[in-house]
Each structure stands twice: as structure tokens, then as C-alpha cells.
Structure 1
Amino acid sequence: MANPVVDTRLSKRFDKWDFDRNGLLEREDFEQEAARIARSFGKPSDAPEVAALRDAFHALFDYLAAATEGSASSLSREEFEKAAGDLIYNQGEAAFNRALGPVVSGLVGLCDKNDDGQINGEEFQSWLTALGLDTTSAKDAFQQVDTNGDGELSQEELLAAIRQYHFGQLDVELLG
């Protein structure tokens, strides 16, 4: 079941993560994404929360690579879109959460200044401005993602927002 919005967003994701622009996603590309995010938060590469994010991106790459019939060391655009599309279209919410939950947890670890395991409006604004969004848009995005209206974002709300983004139900891009 193809969905043009999902397909476009997966293609965009491939382009963003292909750091060396060689037309393949490699483990190093996922490591570079983690490093880019950490730098945007001003975190040193040896910080424990950066290591957690890097490990989460490695695990995501490994998950996607294992889902293909090609090389486990790289993913072509077609392989990535097929594996990620299968995760979104066919495997359901639980599989999506298992694959992306550690990445979201790593992101929360970078911006959760009060260490309560949730993201408040100020922390969320820091997250999105680190990804390049302006302050006003970040505030508006928080309102869209805070589905229960409690002023805090749980990992579950963040994962739901990422799923909704990929299905075109939300225009808040949380993964940069």
C-alpha cells in the first residue's frame, strides 16, 4: 500500500541521512546524524547521552539493514525505503516503537534538562531550534504534539508524533 506522503518523507529522510552523498546509507551516516544532533545541543562527543544517541542510531541502522536482502553494511535508497516503508505500513506501532524508541529516548536524554524523563515546552523548543526551527514555530509545534495537554511530552507522545509526521498527519518533523 503506497502512500505518496510517506514515500516522499522517507526519500527526504534518506537524503538527510546520506552524509557523504554516495547514494548509500551506511552505519557511519547514522553515526554522523547522532554527532550532528549532539553538536546542535552543544554536547561533547564523549558525553554519556551522546553515546546513548549514537548507540540508538547504530541499532536503527542495524534494524533496517537486517530487513533487507542486500548488504548489511549499506542500504541503497530503494532498500531503505522498502525496509522503512515496511516498518511504517506493515509492522505496526509496536515494531515502530521498538525501532525508533531508543532514538527518541536518546533525543530526550540530550534535551531533558531537569531529568524527569519528559520534555517540557522549553526543552522541546531547544530541541526544535537545534534542528533549525524558529522559536515561534517550535512553540506552535509543541501545542500540536502535546496531545494530552499536560505541558509535558512523554516518549509515547513523541513516537506518535513521528509516526503521524511520516503518515502526513502532522507537519512537525522531530528527527531533523
Structure 2
Amino acid sequence: MLSELQITKLERFFYVLDFDRNGIIEKEDFIGIAENLCILWRIREGEEKYEEIQKRFEDGWNHFNLFVNNNDGKANWDHWIHFAEEVIVNGDEEIFTQYVDEFVGEIFDNFDADNDGYINLDEYIDLLVGYRIEVRFAAKSFRKLDRNHDDLISRGELIRAVKEFFRSDDPDAAGNWLFGRAVLSD
């Protein structure tokens, strides 16, 4: 059974993915995120990079839809919370690890702009802006996720944060800061 904190975090992530805020996660939400990033990065429709970003987010949708295993191509709150509880929070460790690895891989594919294998503060802010997450707490969130304080988030640090975000019931876990302001912070 999910704790109150876990439900709150899963709700936060649901609304991160529900880009148009209509209560349903669908392909159009992933395309909206891609379009938002193209605007942020000043990439115009018709450019090769634009098409590449659109394709990456369509692929992201396909992976998400495959994991949620929803045949109608839409995930409402009930679909999401059932999937999250059964697969992400309480599911098989191997499937969870695959989900986390793919999720972290997509973040690096999309936001490691300089391809150095790390997410720096500017790239993290792009992630927040791209997903329309309030950036007011970006610096504090980044510091929490950067556990070794080298001003970079490594793949290992991000994997740990994602695992904590989804599975930890500790209100002080650094992973609670993954999507900006901590879930239960002041």
C-alpha cells in the first residue's frame, strides 16, 4: 500500500507529465514538452534538430505507454496510480531498475546539452522549464541532488534521486527534490 508521501510524489510526477493539465497523460503531452523545449532552445519547426527532439519525445511516450500498459494511449490518474503502485513502488526490482534506467537515460539524452555525461545547473533548469516546473527552487533542488557537491549531477546521483523519489517514504530524502521544490517542504 502506498503511503501518503508516496501518493503525493506520484501525483507531482503525474502532473509533470500531464503537460496540458487535462488530467490525462497522452502522446500530446510528450509532444508539448518537446515543443516547449524547442522554443526554449530556439529551434524552429522544420529544422533537423526540431524533428530529432520531437522523435525523442515520441519515443519517450511509446516507452511510457508500454510501461503503463494502457491500450487506449491515455493514462488517467487511476491508470497511473495503479501502474505506479504495482510496477514502480512495489513491483519487481528488475522491471523497476529498467524503468529507472530508461527514465534517467531519457533525461540525459534530452538535457545533457554538452554531452559530458553530467547535468549541470543550466541543464537542470532547462529540464524544469521544459516540463513547466517552477524554477524558483532550482538552485536548492540542484544542490540536494548533487550529493558530492561537484556542481554536477552524475548519472549515479540521478538514478539514486529517481529511486528515492519513487520508493522512499523518508520526507527528508534528497530525491524528493527531483522536480524542483521538495514534495513536503516549507
Distance 1:26 1:111 in 2: 21
Letter in 2 for 1:62: L
**Seq. identity, %:** 22
TM-score (norm: length of structure 2): 0.70
Deviation by residue 1:123-147 (Cα, 9 ceiling, x = unmatched): 334434554313xx32222221112
Q: Which residues of structure 1 form unaligned runs of 5+?
A: none
Contact 1:24–1:75 (CA under 8 A) maintained in structure 2: yes
Do structure 1's residue 26 and structure 2's residue 26 form an aligned pair?
A: yes
Tell me the C-alpha RMSD between the 2 structures. 3.1
Do structure 1's residue 54 and structure 2's residue 63 form an aligned pair?
A: no
Count of aligned positions: 170
Residue in structure 2 matched with residue 173 of structure 1 by the alignment? 178
Residue in structure 1 matched with residue 184 of structure 2 by the alignment? none
Contact 1:44–1:50 (CA under 8 A) maintained in structure 2: no
Letter in 2 for 1:142: F
Distance 1:175 1:95 in 2: 26
TM-score (norm: length of structure 1): 0.73
Q: Which residues of structure 2 form unaligned runs of 5+?
A: 182-186
Contact 1:53–1:107 (CA under 8 A) maintained in structure 2: no
Deviation by residue 1:69-109 (Cα, 9 ceiling, x = unmatched): xx442223212101012223222554334224334323323
Q: 1:76 to 1:122 in 2, by over 3 A?
A: closer
